[in-house]
């Protein structure tokens, strides 16, 4: 890996601090079950200890009490509680705005509001604060699994299916998500960012997606843009207003605005961008993109600067 | 060792007990298949059956399964096979009841 | 407690008049030992081979932990890491856990039940060679630099040709399927052995509890393994010729693989756990000095676990987008399985309460089992709660949970069992001192490694990642887990060293070294290869405790059946399956090379498929068929009788539905029905989830379908008649009708295009499976006709005819079910 890790830029990837209604309800359930499990464990071990010290047969009622009656009460409570929690957090809100997330080996394609005009982004999901959003989860190749522990539990992306889940983020900030279903060579390098914004900033973000990418306003940036256009990058990558339509790779219209590079893996800066372009197969084995190690130093620097300027 | 041990009866009467061990778990299996099939028929893409039809199937199947599985619960005896039968019946009855949790707790596929 | 007695005979003295008897049971010396089919030899082969796979897989686990010791480690590259964790899981689950437990069953059961060997020693030997060759195929992938890297669960579409081009997945599918032959053959053999060869008087309720655990396990294997075998065949066929079973664009579904895999995979966990729990239930009473408390309760718990554990499979699929109501069904079923487990744990606890136990090394491992397994069970209940599962699934929480269940529930009892039964294998005791070191190292290392993983997982770390970024809250936990794994490994090393070194350092084992109550300790270790000079009548579940004469006399002077049998033949007493009363004498085979050669032919066939050399594959299959024929060609001995000293005259290989071969056929048919049901499940599943593809590939021909059904029914009728009138011409009629039925079924599916839709492809598989069943009947019937024509069969020797009836009936039933499936969509249109 080159470049320092970027994880200091995130709020968290832990299910212990919940920033969404799903994670919140689950954390309550987790805590309750953990306490109950600890108590039951101590009771059973206490029974073992008593049995160890005892020197005469016990009653079969221990089997009925410890093996049947108490477990049935505990399990019945658990099934009811977990099913009601499930019904609450598993409900799909058909009226909520839809964000379509498509898993690829090894990145995430994101489309806001696919019903109207498709607003495309990649590897960073921006969510509005306190507003339910329905995620529509698909895959382009193998099975992936969408998981942002601080916001909600995971849901698989299965070929031939569209799985939907409604999430409500309850805390502004950055959270890390990661593919949770083994999906091939670079499965561990398939993460993403979730950014939760208050409504006004969220609207500004959507507006940003509607507008063309930032213009190349210096000579170096223009050179970078030309390299981008001439080196075949546009066969896979789209930049709004520059080269549109390609969907094989992540949309790069605002790549410079993202905190990370390579699907949530490296800090976004010019150096890492250049390293990525020249050596992507080393940084992310099995990625569809070839390493552009034939680029001259100035070209590489120019295109990296250009991409970093797209905010 | 001089005297031959007394020869026990050639057929200990364990067959009825064994049947009472096997029957309730087989009934549980059939009941589980019924519930799974009913839910799959109602809730998959083909939608062979409506959700109410699935609930009706489970509602009819469950009491029948409880009776069939519970048969013999009150038979007395403390031979091991009889005890095993009693415990198997009780566990199976509980498991059949748990199979009905989905239709008891929820009111639709999703 | 254990004193090294002075030099003394390691076997019961050879009595003059029994010399031919001893010779008949002698294991061939030198390299010809490979031809031995004795359960003692085969069982030890399974155990040692399983142990080797355990050590390899454990080494791979250390590689995994070493890679994860620090964030962004470069010790292994991603590809190697994926191979390593895939092989770790594969070897542990398929080539260690089940075979080694079956090995203990193969070795111990005849000794505990009062039999001289398993009923089908050659089948056991054949199974072992299949396991070894299959395991070698899987391991060979390392040599060819094609180690599987798609996870032990091989999810489609990642494992299809498109995303895993090379041969790695084929190595996995072919090797594992081959090794599974060993598991299912051993299961059939254990069922027949437990039901049919118990000591006189050992009714089902006087059976040692271990036999109950193994009986239920064996039945679970017959039903649990077929879904994976079917799934593997579908996936291999998709990889080889492109039938679209898992391709959603052609009406397939990747979730079909997950269903089939977990229909196997969840029962598998119980298949691993139950024998180990049976070992605990056997060892614990020994150290308490009192019988197992609540035998009937334990039997009920085992039987209910054996069933209910089949209703949990989809809890591995909670995040795949199944309907909420289906999730709730599996969630509830997953919690209720705790009840029988709880009953069983409390049986153990109450056994403990009866008397102050002796704190031996096996007892340490039993207490470790209770401690660890209860935690694993409780986290399992947590995982049954769907919302929690959505967070924990495929995270390190699940890694922690499954290792608590499998290491706590299986490895700890297993190592306890090694300490307990090794004296029986080697005649020497393992070290109490080293054993306690092994225990405490393993116990502490285990918790350091895996307890922390619960937290790592809930902090968001997914499974199966070769690298992780620093500073995310996982660094220290992973470091500690890795250190713990080294401690755990050190414990295993101490155990392995003890297991090796005790052979020259360990004190000689006295007779019944642990003061156990079960029959395997009747002889001073090492018991002679024939297990019993005479098979004693049993009046209790703990005969060595309750029948003092057994230990008061020299073991070889024990009174019992078949004591002076002077025939120079291997034989044991066959019993009534329920009452345990003697029913027949079972003649057993002597050492033979046929199982090894036949397994080798099958290995050639499987490897040739892997190398795409289909001519050689066919040649191997034909050679295997000749092997089976040579195997079964021996003269029938039905009709002979043997006069025993205690129990009067008993018939040899009785022609009855209670005979061991008929019971084995029933066991085999359970496998066949489960295979067929798995295919049927695939058909129904695809039909249900991809309705728009139902009739796209063309309709089956209903005329030929009805011909197939008619021939199948006719075949059953003739087979049934042949039982009372065994004639070669009837055998030929069965063969003919079976052949025509198979051919008609082929004609019936011919109009459908298997490449066009997954449903059509699955219908072809269904027809192909029934065709195989028909082929078995054809081959079997031709074989019987040939035997009759060549004068091998005397009047009344109708065991094969009795056995063929259920096979033919079940096959006809499958034909009818298949006909309904083929016809239904067309009838639907008529409505």
- CATH number of the domain enclosing A156: 2.60.40.420
Shortest Cα–Cα distance, C718 to chain A (Å): 48
Confidence (pLDDT) at C564: 63
Q: How many CA atoms lie within 13 A of C577 on its CB side?
A: 18
Whole-angstrom CA distances from C282 to C292, C420, C540, C541 are: 8, 10, 14, 11
Residues A200 and A256 occupy one common structural domain: no
Taking CB atoms and an 8 Å limit, are B5 and C539 in contact across chains?
Answer: yes
| The pLDDT value given to residue B77 | 84
Say whether C462 and A184 touch across the interface (CB within 8 A): no
The label of the residue with tokens 């080697």 reads C426
B50 near C CB under 8 A: no
Model confidence pLDDT, tens digit, residues A132-185 = 999 999 999 999 999 999 999 999 999 999 999 999 999 999 999 999 999 999
Q: Using 50, 70 and 90 to split pLDDT, how confident is the model at A8?
A: low
Which residue do the tokens 């393994």 mark? C225
Exposure on the CB side of residue C808, measured as CA atoms within 13 A: 34
Nearest to A181 among C293, C301, C394 (CB): C394
Collect all residues of chain B within an 8 Å Cβ-Cβ radius of residue A79: 98, 101, 105
Containing structural domain, residue A55: 21-89
Taking CB atoms within 8 Å and a gap of at least 24, the contacts of C158-164 are C158/A142, C158/A143, C158/A182, C158/A183, C158/A184, C159/C235, C160/C235, C160/C238, C160/C239, C160/C246, C160/C247, C161/C238, C161/C239, C161/C242, C163/A141, C163/A142, C163/A184
pLDDT for residue A2 is more than 50? no
List C-alpha distances in Å: C455 to A139, B85, C137, C611: 30, 42, 38, 45
CB distance from B76 to chain C under 8 Å?
A: no
Q: For A14-25, b where at least 16 C-beta lie within 10 A, e where not — what string?
A: bbbbbbbbbbbb
Q: Which of A10, A57, A159 sits opposite C354 (nearest CB)?
A: A57
**Domain end: A63, A89, A115, which one?**
A89
Q: What is the pTM of this model?
A: 0.94
Last residue of a domain, one of A167, A185, A206: A206
Does the CB of C200 have a partner CB in chain B at under 8 Å? no
**Mean pLDDT of the A217-230 span:** 90
Average of per-residue pLDDT across A104-116: 86
Domain assignment present for residue A239? The answer is yes
Q: For residue B105, list chain A residues with Cβ-Cβ distance below 8 A.
A: 79-80, 83-84, 87
Q: What is the pLDDT of residue A28?
A: 95
Residue of chain C minimizing CA distance to B41: C688
Rounded Cα distance between A14 and A26, Å, is 12
Q: CA dist C37 to C21, C180, C545, C588, C660, Å?
A: 17, 19, 32, 10, 18
pLDDT for res C634: 85
Question: Which residue does chain C place closest to B39, by CA atoms?
Answer: C326
DSSP of C79-141? HHHHHHHHHHHHIIIIIIIHHHHHHHHHHHHHHHHT-SS-S-HHHHHHHHHHHHHHHHHHHHH
- Mark yes or no for CB contact C460/A26 under 8 Å: no
Contact flag A83-B90 (C-beta cutoff 8 Å): no
Put simply, the answer to whether B44 touches C329 (Cβ < 8 Å) is no
Question: Does the distance separating the beta carbons of C335 and A79 come in below 8 Å?
Answer: yes
Interface ipTM above 0.90: yes
pLDDT band, very low/low/confident/very high, at A7 (cuts 50, 70, 90):
low
Q: Is residue A253 part of a domain?
A: yes
Contact B40 C688 (CB under 8 A): yes
Chain B residues within an 8 Å CB radius of A83:
101-102, 105-106
Do the domain assignments include residue A270? yes
What are the chain C neighbours of B48 within 8 Å (beta carbons)?
A: 688
CA-based nearest distance B78→chain A, Å? 12
Q: Which long-range contacts (CB under 8 A, 24 or more apart) does A153-156 make?
A: A153/A22, A153/A23, A153/A26, A153/A89, A153/C319, A153/C387, A153/C389, A153/C390, A153/C391, A153/C393, A154/A180, A154/C319, A154/C390, A154/C391, A154/C393, A154/C394, A155/C319, A155/C321, A155/C390, A156/A181, A156/C319, A156/C320, A156/C321
Please indicate whether, in this complex, the C-beta atoms of C370 and A79 are within 8 angstroms of each other: no
Residue A68 has its nearest CB partner, among B90, B98, B106, at B90
Answer whether C321's CB lies under 8 Å from C393's CB.
no
Same-domain pairing of A105 and A202: yes
Q: What's the rounded Cα separation, in Å, for the pair C463 and C394?
A: 5
> Residues A187, A259: one domain?
no
The residue among B17, B27, B84, B85 with the most chain C CBs within 10 A of its CB, best to mutate, is B84
- What does the pLDDT read at residue B1? 34
Q: How far apart are the first and last CA of chain B?
A: 73
**Pairwise CB contact (< 8 Å): C387 & A189:** no
d(CA C712, CA C247): 34
Cβ pairs B/C, distance under 8 A:
145
Interface test with B, best of C213, C306, C311 (most B CBs within 10 A): C311
Q: Provide the percentage of residues in chain A whose pLDDT is more than 90.
A: 70
Specify if A2 maps to a domain.
no
**Chain C residues whose beta carbon lies within 8 Å of the beta carbon of residue A189:** 467
DSSP C579-596: T--EEEEEEEPPP-SHHH
Given a cut of 70, is residue A287 above it in pLDDT?
A: yes
Strand A266-267 to A260-261 pairing: antiparallel
Which chains reach chain A with 3 or more Cβ–Cβ distances below 8 angstroms?
Answer: B, C
Task: List subunits contacting chain C, requiring 3 or more Cβ pairs under 8 Å.
Answer: A, B
Q: How far apart are CA A75 and CA C336, in angstroms?
A: 7
Residues of chain C with pLDDT under 70: 1-19, 564-566, 645-646, 828-831
Label residue A213 by pLDDT band (50, 70, 90).
confident
State the pLDDT at residue C5.
39
Neighboring chain B residues of A91 at a CB cutoff of 8 Å: 110
Q: Is residue A213 part of a domain?
A: no
| Binary contact (B94, A72; C-beta < 8 A) | yes
| Count: domains in chain A | 3
Asked, for residue A142, whether it belongs to a domain, the answer is yes
Question: Residues B2-56: pLDDT tens digits?
Answer: 334 444 444 456 788 888 999 999 999 999 999 999 999 999 988 889 999 999 9
Q: Does B15 contact chain C (CB < 8 Å)?
A: yes
**Chain A residues within an 8 Å CB radius of B94:** 68, 72
Is residue C52 less than 8 Å (CB to CB) from chain A?
Answer: no
Are A261 and A174 in contact, with CB atoms under 8 Å apart? no
Token couple for C762: 């699955």
CB contact under 8 A, B29 and C328: no
Q: Evaluate whether residue A143 is within a structural domain.
A: yes
pLDDT, position A114: 64
Distance from CA of B47 to the nearest CA of C (A): 8
∠ CA A123-A127-A128, rounded to 5°:
160
Interface test with chain B among C336, C548, C685, C694, by most B beta carbons within 10 Å: C336
pLDDT single digits (tens) B100-110: 999 999 988 87
CB < 8 Å to C300, chain B: 21, 83-88, 91
> Where along chain B do its domains lie?
15-103
In this predicted structure, what is the pLDDT of residue C10? 41
| Residue A127 near residue A155 (C-beta atoms within 8 A) | no
Asked if the Cβ–Cβ distance from C157 to A143 is below 8 Å, we say yes
Domain boundary among A176, A206, A236: A206
B94 touches chain A (CB under 8 A): yes
A149 CB neighbours in chain C (<8 A) are 391, 458-460
Smallest CA–CA distance, residue B43 to chain A, in Å, is: 15
User: Do A70 and A123 fall into the same domain?
Assistant: no
Residues 687 to 716 of C: which have CB under 8 A from any B CB? 687-691
Of the candidates A72, A80, A90, the beta carbon closest to that of B105 is on A80
- A195 and A112 share one domain: yes
Interface check for C289 against chain A (CB to CB < 8 A): the answer is no
């Amino acid at each position: 890996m080159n470049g320092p890790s970027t994880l200091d830029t995130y709020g968290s990837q832990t299910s212990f601090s919940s920033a969404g209604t799903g994670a919140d309800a689950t954390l309550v359930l987790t805590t309750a079950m953990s306490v109950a499990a600890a108590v039951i464990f101590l009771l059973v071990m206490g029974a073992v200890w008593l049995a160890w010290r005892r020197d005469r047969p016990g009653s079969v009622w221990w089997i009925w009490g410890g093996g049947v009656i108490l477990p049935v009460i505990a399990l019945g409570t658990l099934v009811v509680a977990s099913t009601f929690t499930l019904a609450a957090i598993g409900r799909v809100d058909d009226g909520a705005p839809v964000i379509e997330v498509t898993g690829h080996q090894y990145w995430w394609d994101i489309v806001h509001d696919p019903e109207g005009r498709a607003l495309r982004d990649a590897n960073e999901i921006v969510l509005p604060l306190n507003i339910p959003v329905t995620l529509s989860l698909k895959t382009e190749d193998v099975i992936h699994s969408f998981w942002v522990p601080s916001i909600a539990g995971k849901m698989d992306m299965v070929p031939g299916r569209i799985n939907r889940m409604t999430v409500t983020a309850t805390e502004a900030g950055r959270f890390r998500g990661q593919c949770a279903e083994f999906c091939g060579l670079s499965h561990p390098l398939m993460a993403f960012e979730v950014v939760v914004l208050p409504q006004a900033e969220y609207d500004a973000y959507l507006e940003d997606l509607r507008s063309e990418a930032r213009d190349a306003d210096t000579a170096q940036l223009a050179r970078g843009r030309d390299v981008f256009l001439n080196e075949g990058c546009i066969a896979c990558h789209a930049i709004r207003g520059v080269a549109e339509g390609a969907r094989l790779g992540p949309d790069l219209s605002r790549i410079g605005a993202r905190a990370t590079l390579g699907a949530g893996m490296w800090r976004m800066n010019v150096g890492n961008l250049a390293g990525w372009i020249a050596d992507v197969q080393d940084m992310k084995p099995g990625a569809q993109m070839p390493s552009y190690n034939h680029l001259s130093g100035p070209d590489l620097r120019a295109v990296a600067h250009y991409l970093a300027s797209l905010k | 060792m001089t005297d031959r041990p007394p020869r026990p009866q050639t057929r200990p009467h364990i067959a009825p007990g064994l049947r009472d061990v096997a029957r309730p778990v087989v009934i549980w299996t059939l009941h589980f298949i019924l519930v799974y099939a009913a839910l799959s028929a109602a809730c998959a893409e083909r939608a062979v059956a409506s959700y109410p039809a699935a609930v009706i199937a489970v509602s009819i199947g469950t009491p029948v399964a409880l009776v069939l599985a519970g048969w013999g619960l009150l038979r007395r005896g403390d031979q091991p096979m009889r005890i095993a039968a009693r415990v198997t019946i009780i566990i199976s009855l509980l498991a059949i009841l748990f199979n009905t949790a989905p239709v008891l707790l929820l009111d639709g596929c999703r | 407690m254990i004193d090294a007695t002075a030099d003394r005979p390691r076997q019961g003295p050879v009595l003059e008049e029994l010399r031919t008897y001893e010779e008949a049971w002698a294991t061939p010396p030198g390299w010809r030992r490979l031809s031995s089919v004795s359960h003692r030899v085969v069982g030890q082969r399974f155990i040692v081979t399983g142990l080797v796979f355990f050590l390899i897989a454990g080494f791979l686990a250390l590689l995994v932990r070493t890679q994860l010791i620090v964030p962004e480690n470069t010790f292994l590259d991603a590809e190697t890491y994926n191979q390593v964790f895939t092989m770790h899981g594969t070897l542990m689950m398929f080539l260690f856990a089940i075979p080694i437990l079956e090995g203990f069953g193969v070795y111990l059961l005849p000794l505990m039940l009062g039999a001289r060997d398993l009923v089908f020693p050659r089948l056991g030997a054949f199974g072992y060679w299949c396991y070894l060759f299959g395991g070698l195929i899987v391991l060979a992938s390392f040599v060819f630099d094609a180690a599987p890297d798609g996870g032990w669960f091989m999810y489609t579409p990642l494992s299809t040709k498109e995303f895993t081009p090379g041969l790695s997945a084929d190595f996995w599918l072919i090797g594992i399927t081959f090794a599974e032959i060993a598991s299912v053959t051993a299961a059939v053999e254990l069922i027949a052995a437990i039901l049919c060869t118990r000591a006189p008087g050992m009714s089902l309720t006087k059976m040692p509890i271990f036999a109950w655990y193994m009986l239920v396990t064996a039945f679970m294997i017959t039903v649990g393994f077929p879904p994976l075998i079917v799934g593997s065949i579908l996936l291999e066929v998709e990889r080889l010729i492109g039938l679209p079973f898992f391709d959603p664009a052609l009406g397939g579904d990747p979730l079909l693989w997950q269903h089939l895999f977990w229909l196997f995979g969840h029962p598998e966990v119980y298949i691993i756990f139950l024998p180990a729990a049976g070992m605990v239930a056997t060892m614990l009473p020994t150290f308490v000095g009192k019988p197992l408390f609540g035998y009937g309760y334990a039997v009920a718990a085992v039987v209910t676990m054996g069933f209910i554990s089949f209703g949990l499979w989809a809890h591995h699929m909670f995040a795949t987008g199944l309907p909420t109501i289906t999730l709730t069904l599996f969630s509830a079923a997953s919690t209720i399985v705790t009840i029988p487990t709880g009953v069983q744990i409390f049986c153990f606890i109450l056994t403990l309460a009866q008397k102050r136990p002796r704190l031996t090394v096996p007892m340490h491992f039993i207490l470790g089992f209770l401690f660890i397994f209860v935690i694993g069970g409780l986290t399992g209940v947590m995982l049954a709660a769907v919302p929690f599962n959505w967070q924990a699934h495929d995270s390190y929480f699940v890694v922690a949970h499954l290792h608590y269940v499998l290491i706590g529930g299986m490895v700890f009892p297993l190592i306890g069992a090694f300490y307990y039964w090794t004296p029986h294998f080697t005649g020497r005791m393992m070290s109490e001192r080293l054993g306690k070191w092994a225990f405490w190292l393993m116990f502490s290392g285990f918790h350091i490694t895996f307890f922390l993983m619960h937290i790592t997982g809930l902090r968001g770390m997914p499974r199966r990642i070769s690298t992780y970024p620093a500073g995310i809250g996982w660094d220290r936990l992973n470091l500690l887990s890795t250190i713990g794994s080294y401690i755990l490994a050190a414990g295993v090393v101490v155990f392995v060293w003890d297991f090796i070194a005790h052979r020259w350092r360990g004190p000689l084992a006295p007779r019944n070294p642990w003061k156990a109550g079960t029959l395997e300790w009747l002889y001073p270790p090492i018991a002679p290869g024939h297990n019993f000079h005479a098979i004693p009548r049993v009046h209790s579940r703990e005969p060595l405790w309750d029948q003092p004469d057994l230990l008061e006399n020299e073991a070889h002077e024990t009174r019992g059946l078949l004591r002076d049998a002077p025939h120079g033949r291997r034989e044991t007493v066959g019993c009534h399956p329920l009452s345990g009363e003697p029913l027949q004498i079972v003649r057993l085979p002597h050492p033979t090379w046929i199982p090894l050669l036949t397994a080798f032919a099958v290995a050639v066939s499987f490897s040739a498929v892997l190398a795409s050399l289909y001519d050689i594959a066919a040649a191997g299959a034909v050679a295997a068929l000749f092997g089976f024929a040579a195997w079964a060609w021996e003269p029938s001995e039905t009709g002979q009788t043997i006069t025993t000293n205690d129990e009067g005259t008993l018939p040899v290989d009785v022609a009855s539905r209670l005979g061991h071969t008929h019971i084995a056929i029933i066991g085999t048919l359970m496998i066949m029905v489960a295979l067929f049901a798995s295919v049927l499940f695939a058909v129904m599943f695809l039909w249900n989830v991809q309705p728009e593809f139902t009739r796209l590939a063309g309709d089956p021909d209903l005329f030929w379908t009805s011909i197939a059904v008619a021939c199948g029914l006719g075949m059953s009728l003739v087979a049934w008649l042949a039982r009372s009138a065994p004639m070669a011409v009837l055998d030929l009629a069965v063969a003919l009708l079976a052949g025509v039925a198979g051919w008609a079924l082929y004609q019936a599916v011919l109009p459908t295009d298997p490449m066009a839709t997954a449903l059509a492809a699955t219908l072809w598989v269904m027809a192909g499976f029934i065709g195989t069943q028909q082929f078995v009947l054809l081959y079997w019937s031709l074989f019987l006709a040939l035997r009759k024509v060549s004068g091998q069969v005397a009047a009344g020797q109708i065991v094969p005819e009795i056995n063929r009836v259920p096979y033919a009936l079940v096959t006809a039933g499958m034909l009818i079910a298949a006909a309904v499936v083929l016809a239904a969509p067309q009838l639907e249109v008529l409505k």
